Every structure is written in structure tokens, then in C-alpha cells.
Structure 1
Amino acid sequence: MIAILVRSAMLLALAWIAGFVLFVLSLPEPAPDHLRTEGIVVLTGGPGRIARGVDLLRAGKADRLLISGVDTSVRPIELAVELDVPASVFECCIDLGKEAADTRGNGEEIAAWVKRHDYKSVRLVTSQFHVARATAEARARIGAGITLVPDAVPARLSARLLAVEYSKFLFRRLLLLMGEA
């Protein structure tokens, strides 16, 4: 019985390692800049994400931008000043999502925003290590018929960060497959 448990644990560990290697080797790159979508969603939490989304909006690569996971104390004018974006652009084209506290919440916030604007194509901007989980959460909630374009922002990577993110991805993916959104 113990031998079976040891073998099972070893097989599970080998499967995790093989999946981790594939996860690392398949880290995405930024989406092509020429690509246009109806909306852009940026998930807060990492350097360069919001700047990437704002730059794409300024370049006319979408009609509107959602920044998901914004702290409730942040005011649009403060962010406009920090990003050097005219307040009028915030008023017309940038929404601050303040409901999401985690990636699952981002998925819910994205789905509500996509539905509210009746978008059929959205670019999802987040750090390259976070793309797989963020895409899975968003896809589970927005459903079929919506084009979701992952756009990875390069990040400082470490083995620990990647291992933790891969483990979170596996856990959430398993729950999503079991219908636990």
C-alpha cells in the first residue's frame, strides 16, 4: 500500500514538473500592436500593465479601456495626472473597475463590462506569468462568441513566482472544469 502511495506521489510530482516546464516555455509575448479590438481590459497588480493599456487606447487600438481591480480610494483625476492622460479621455473612454479583489473577481468584472458594452472583441493586458490564469477566469465568465486577445506585459520572473502562479493556475483550472466558477 505504501509503495502505491509513493508511486502515485512520484507520478503526481512528475506531472506537475512536466506541466510547469510547459507553462514556462509557453509564456506569451505581447499581442501585436496593429491588432484592434473593441475594448481593452488591464488587470492591476504589476508594473507596465496600465501604461500598456493606455498606450494602446491612445493609439486607437480600441474604443474603451477598463482598468480592473483598482483600489476603491483611487480617483480618476489622480490616475489621469499620474498617467499624463487628459481628464476628458477618462470621462469618455476609461472605466475604473473597483469591485475585483483577485483574478476571479477580475473575470467577473470583465464579463459585466463586456456585456454592458456589448463587445465582441477584447484585449486582456496583464503580466506574462498571469496571462493563463487571467484568461481562464475571463473566458469562463464571458462565454463563447467573444474574442479574447491575451496581451502579455513582460515581467521580472523568478522560479518561485512562476511555481506559485502555475500552482494557482492549476487549482483554478481544476475548479473551473468542475463547474466551480
Structure 2
Amino acid sequence: MIRWLRWALPPLALLAALAGGFLWFLGMATAEAEAPARRTEAIVVLTGGAERVATGLALLEAGLAPRLLVSGAAPRLTLAELARAHGREPATLADRVTLGHAAATTVGNAAETAAWLRAAGIGPGAAVRVVTAGYHMPRALLELRRALPGVELLAHPVGPSGLRAGAMPRARVAQLLVGEYLKYGLALTGLSALVPAREASRR
């Protein structure tokens, strides 16, 4: 009996740790941001859903930051097209919104964000608000912290609305959350390179 317990305890402990980690992840994935009031030096939106961009623009227009980066934008998307798609006049965004077209993964988002902040003269000690889906937020913050040491990151999770409202099929929700949890695990262990580039289109 004791020998069996010695054999069984390590895998059981691992399963318990994985289950606990997944419960924590679920809390992050389904969290909704409270109305923020703190001003930051910049807002960064990691693309993957229209709600993210809409939220970033609303935060910008509320005066919570002077500039906004949309990281991972479609290669041919222009600022004028983005503005019209969200009911804005392009001229009102011209000096405040930057479209980043280089990122195809979360690691790419982090690198693109770091380069943009350096170009804007924003570095350690600054605060940046991060807008992305709740299920993507843990991995996004992990990669951004690696690329931006000393920069304070404020999480602003959003959408998708179908997940919040329970409108998405359960099988799709399970696939989405488990898949993202596994990607977070890879990132946590330094294996982000194993996440395929095409995952950017599904975030």
C-alpha cells in the first residue's frame, strides 16, 4: 500500500497543480474590467476581436492615455479604415493611434509594443494599459513583462461577448480555454516558440 502511494502521489500532485492553475486561469479568462480611472502613458490593444479595438478607442477618448497602439493589425489595414469601421473620423485619431502590422504572435505583440514605446520615449517607471481578451491576458502579460522590464502593466480584459453571455457552444468554449491554458503553460516554461504563428488570428 505504501509503495503504491509513493508511486501515485507525484502524478496526483501534478494533476492537482494543473487543476488549481486552470481554475485560476478561468478566473482571469472570465473577468470583466471595472471602469478604470487611472491615467497611463499609453494604451496597447492586442488584436483578435473588434471589442478590443472599440474598448481601446473609448479609453483613449476618455483621456486615460495620450496614445494608443493596435498591435498585430491586419497587414493592409489603414488608420482611415479602422476609424470608419468604429464610427470615428480619421483625423481625430491621426496623431494618437498607431497601427502595428508586424506581430503575428503574442511574442510578436510584446516585441512590437516594446519598439513602439521606445520610439515614444516611454520606458521603466511608466504605466501602460493592456487591452485584450480575458483568456489571452495571462499570456499577454507574461510576454509583455519579459519585453518591458520596469514598465507597469495594467490589465484591461474584454470580450468576447459570446463567452461572457454564454452564447458560444460549450465545446467551443472548452476548446478555446484549454487551448489557451496550454499556450500559457508553454510561455511560462519559455517555450513560446512552439505556439504557431497562425494562433494570432484566433486570439
TM-score per shorter chain, which class? 0.7 to 0.9
RMSD of the alignment, in Å? 2.1
In the other structure, the counterpart of 1:83 is 86
Within 2, Cα distance between the matches of 1:36 and 1:29?
19
- Which deviations, in whole Å up to 9, do the C-alpha atoms of 1:137-169 show, x marking residues without a partner? 11100111x121110103243232111111111
> Pick from 128, 148, 160: which aligns with 2:134?
128
In the other structure, the counterpart of 2:152 is 147
Equivalence map 1:1-150=2 (5 Å) = 8-27=10-29, 28-119=31-122, 120-144=126-150, 146-150=151-155
| Structure 2, unpaired ranges of 5+ | 164-172, 192-203
Within 2, Cα distance between the matches of 1:59 and 1:140?
29
Pair 1:60–1:142, CA change in 2 (3 A): same
In the other structure, the counterpart of 1:163 is 178
- Which deviations, in whole Å up to 9, do the C-alpha atoms of 1:39-87 show, x marking residues without a partner? 1000110241000000111111110010000011111111111112222
Deviation at 1:128, TM superposition (A): 0.9
Within 2, Cα distance between the matches of 1:68 and 1:31?
23
In the other structure, the counterpart of 1:172 is 187
| Structure 1, unpaired ranges of 5+ | 177-181
Deviation at 1:38, TM superposition (A): 1.3
* Contact 1:100–1:106 under 8 Å retained in 2: yes
Within 2, Cα distance between the matches of 1:66 and 1:89?
15
TM-score, with length taken from structure 1: 0.87
Within 1, Cα distance between the matches of 2:25 and 2:83?
36
Deviation at 1:175, TM superposition (A): 0.4
SS for the counterpart of 2:98 is strand
In the other structure, the counterpart of 2:167 is none
* Contact 1:114–1:142 under 8 Å retained in 2: no
TM-score, with length taken from structure 2: 0.78
Identity of aligned residues (%): 36
The letter for the 1-side match of 2:22 is F
- Which deviations, in whole Å up to 9, do the C-alpha atoms of 1:8-62 show, x marking residues without a partner? 4443333211210122134443153312111100011024100000011111111
- Which deviations, in whole Å up to 9, do the C-alpha atoms of 1:80-129 show, x marking residues without a partner? 11112222223210000000001110011111111111221110000111
